[in-house]
Chains A and B, each alone.
Chain A
Amino acid sequence: MARIDCGKLCPEWPCEQPEEFKHVWVIAEATEDGISEASLQMLTPALEIARKLDNKVVGILLGYNVSRHADTLIKHGADEVIVVDDIMLSEYYPEVYGQVIVDLAKKYKPEVILLAATMRGREMGPYIANTLRAGITADCTDFDVDEKTRDVLLIRPPFAAIMLAYIKTPFRRPQIGTARPNVFPVPPADESRKGEIKFEKPSILTARAKLVFRKILKREEIPIEKAEIIVSGGKGLGGPEGFKLLEELASILGGVVAGSRKAVDAGWISHERQVGQTGKSVKPILYIAVGISGAAQHMIGVREATRIVAINIDPEAPIFNQADYGVVGDYKEIVDALIEELRRLRDAGPQAVEELIREYAQQAQAAGQG
């Protein structure tokens, strides 16, 4: 491990040696329903980093009446949980929660801190890092460890999604990173796992922001990251009506609709449903990309889709090189026909599928011979 030469550091930073820091922290977001899934997902990279560093995984749980959720973190792999359960934390304010975590980090000196890049995580993470004068890397898609130096490599696609930047902070600890929801799976629960739960008091804080009012918005539909089938539309739909058609297709398939950034930017679909680098990562069994060109920043969000179907009018569209099944043509006619054909099959029953498969198998054979 490198020794830090304090004379070379910015005097605004505390001078601390890396070996003073230990363990991997996961900041857990508690909601009414318990620990958010996005936070539990962060236990997956935390366990991997901790294994390589021979460290413990520590869950950090803040809020009011949240102690009962500490167990969830342990069952999913945390060795220890530090709980700050206080009425002062009954509302989340980024500066207040951030400061409590900063104080804990000054006391315990974690080597690594991971947060889910939810909207709150993205709000609070950089405050924590900056107040500790530590680096932070947003939206990591992977982590690795240089076991010699104990530097964590925080891996993220910069700017162009086809590349990966390996970022490290050799002169500062803790090493802090966030990852978008659904990049990592939740580690399986082990009901018999036991771990230590510690309680801490928050420092005396006065919130300079006050929540006046909150309205919880009901989700009308399955969030795209949970769907098995996604019908996704891009700029090629030409307008919001295109999404009506995709909705119809999605509903027959029991799936949901999503979109590219250009479709979101055009206001045809909400940002919640954007797939890609600055949207969501999805892992459906079937992803049907309609009028989407296949930009790297979009495709990074569907790397884990089992199968991709592309419908695009331009035979040169890059998406055809990144899909399993591609069809060239105008989406309106093709999606219409798909809806009609699916309805017909549904009414005709499973035996109609066998006929269809036979017909196209023969065609493929004929093509092969010819």
Chain B
Amino acid sequence: MRIVVGIKWVPNTQAVRFDPKTGTLIRTGVPAIVNPHDLPAAELALRLKDRYGGEVIVVTMAPPPAMQGLEHILGMGADRAVLLTDRAFAGADTLATSYVIARGIRKIEEEWGPVDLAVFGQETIDSSTAHIGAQVASWLGWPYIYYVKKAWLQDGRLRVVRHLESAVEEFEVSTPAVVSVAMKALKARPVRLSYKLRAKLESPITVWTNKDLGLDPRCVGLKGSPTIVSKVTYLPEVPRKKIVYKPRDPRDAARWILAQLFSDEKTREVLYKALWGG
């Protein structure tokens, strides 16, 4: 199987702090990481390769520093990496991003042969849209399925198990196909230094700019993006009482809380109902 995995190099959003005095985000010094939800996607692709042979190609559309992200996946055992990068790609929304990725997959097919499966993470931690997988499927005209936890081949077709809010489903999907892998579905294997080095020696990361892909500049980046951010505001604060109590001991804490809640007309009734019904 030839499997493409899409990843994103994202700021570690957990490390982004808010400065309440200036009302801005503190992003300086925030380290970038591979989007954590893409690691199970890479793991799923590698397990399919372990079982059925073939190759795993990791791809991202991003500025050059994202090479570190590609190296991480190479270190897990991916065979090749492709960086799709161009100033013209800047400012892309998900439609324009997915367009470049889809055309990147087409070029991968021209270079190395047909792709059987494109695997994505469920969503990114910095935008959480979960758009890219379905959009790439739409550009390529491939069937797709989200939230996959397990995948294998049966009678030459792809089988997947996925979980919805209140159902477990198994699907048979014809290939080529797109799947997105559920968050935390699989534990990703560690990075091996020897893999990283070998990948670097044998097949360095392939870089394709827009010239290589030959895309109309009106279809990529900001120009190729139907959505426009027209303004950004701050959410108004919800008024709260903000009464903070330092109790003498745990019992005092418990009694203080209950005294507040029982004397508060908004909560009294629901507590009476809970304790004595009606």
The verdict on A338 contacting B257 (CB below 8 Å), with A167-B230, A356-B262 known, is yes
What residues of chain B lie closer than 8 Å to A326, measured between beta carbons? Answer: 242-245
Is B251 a contact of A337 with CB atoms below 8 Å? yes
Is B234 a contact of A122 with CB atoms below 8 Å? no
Is B164 a contact of A209 with CB atoms below 8 Å? no
Looking at A19-27, A134-142, A238-246, the stretch in contact with chain B turns out to be: A134-142
The verdict on B127 contacting chain A, using a C-beta distance below 8 Å, is yes
What residues of chain B lie closer than 8 Å to A197, measured between beta carbons? Answer: none
The verdict on A285 contacting B267 (CB below 8 Å), with A327-B256, A360-B256 known, is yes
Is A126 a contact of B258 with CB atoms below 8 Å? no
Contact partner, A253, options B131, B242, B244, B274, Cβ 8 Å: B274
Is B166 a contact of A135 with CB atoms below 8 Å? no
State A326–B244 Cα separation when bound (angstroms). Answer: 4
What residues of chain B lie closer than 8 Å to A337, measured between beta carbons? Answer: 250-251, 253-254
What residues of chain A lie closer than 8 Å to B134, measured between beta carbons? Answer: 94, 98, 123-127, 130
CB distance from A245 to the nearest CB of B (A): 13
Residues from 10 to 48 in A contacting B, C-beta threshold 8 Å: 10-13
Residues from 93 to 146 in B contacting A, C-beta threshold 8 Å: 93-95, 98-99, 123, 126-135, 137-139, 143-146
A13-B226, A213-B169, A322-B237 known; 16 new pairs, CB 8 Å cut-off, are: A11-B216, A12-B216, A125-B131, A126-B132, A129-B135, A130-B134, A135-B225, A159-B127, A168-B230, A170-B228, A213-B170, A253-B271, A278-B123, A338-B254, A357-B262, A360-B263
Tell me what chain B mostly uses at the interface: helix, strand, loop, or mixed.
Answer: mixed
CB distance from B139 to the nearest CB of A (A): 7
Tell me what chain A mostly uses at the interface: helix, strand, loop, or mixed.
Answer: mixed
The verdict on A357 contacting B266 (CB below 8 Å), with A130-B135, A212-B171, A337-B250 known, is no
CB distance from B235 to the nearest CB of A (A): 6
Is B267 a contact of A94 with CB atoms below 8 Å? no
Residues from 297 to 339 in A contacting B, C-beta threshold 8 Å: 300, 303, 306-309, 311, 315, 320-330, 333-334, 336-338
Contact with B along A335-349 (1 / 0, CB 8 A): 011101110011001
State A165–B227 Cα separation when bound (angstroms). Answer: 11
What residues of chain B lie closer than 8 Å to A217, measured between beta carbons? Answer: 166-168
State A130–B264 Cα separation when bound (angstroms). Answer: 50
Is B270 a contact of A286 with CB atoms below 8 Å? yes
Contact partner, B128, options A98, A277, A323, Cβ 8 Å: A277
Chosen A-B contacts, 15 in total, with CB atoms closer than 8 Å, are A10-B216, A94-B144, A119-B147, A126-B133, A159-B127, A167-B228, A168-B227, A210-B171, A212-B172, A214-B170, A215-B169, A309-B261, A324-B264, A327-B253, A338-B257
What residues of chain B lie closer than 8 Å to A353, measured between beta carbons? Answer: 258, 262
Is B240 a contact of A323 with CB atoms below 8 Å? yes
Which A-B residue pairs are the 10 nearest by beta carbons? A135-B226, A360-B259, A337-B254, A10-B219, A333-B250, A135-B227, A130-B138, A208-B143, A337-B250, A126-B131
State A123–B148 Cα separation when bound (angstroms). Answer: 12
What residues of chain B lie closer than 8 Å to A13, measured between beta carbons? Answer: 226
Interface size range on B against A:
35 or more
CB distance from B77 to the nearest CB of A (A): 25
CB distance from A28 to the nearest CB of B (A): 17
The verdict on B52 contacting chain A, using a C-beta distance below 8 Å, is no
State A357–B258 Cα separation when bound (angstroms). Answer: 8
CB distance from A114 to the nearest CB of B (A): 15
The verdict on A203 contacting chain B, using a C-beta distance below 8 Å, is no
The verdict on A164 contacting B226 (CB below 8 Å), with A135-B93, A138-B128 known, is no
The verdict on B260 contacting chain A, using a C-beta distance below 8 Å, is yes
The verdict on A162 contacting chain B, using a C-beta distance below 8 Å, is yes
Is B138 a contact of A296 with CB atoms below 8 Å? no
What residues of chain B lie closer than 8 Å to A131, measured between beta carbons? Answer: 138
Is B146 a contact of A122 with CB atoms below 8 Å? yes
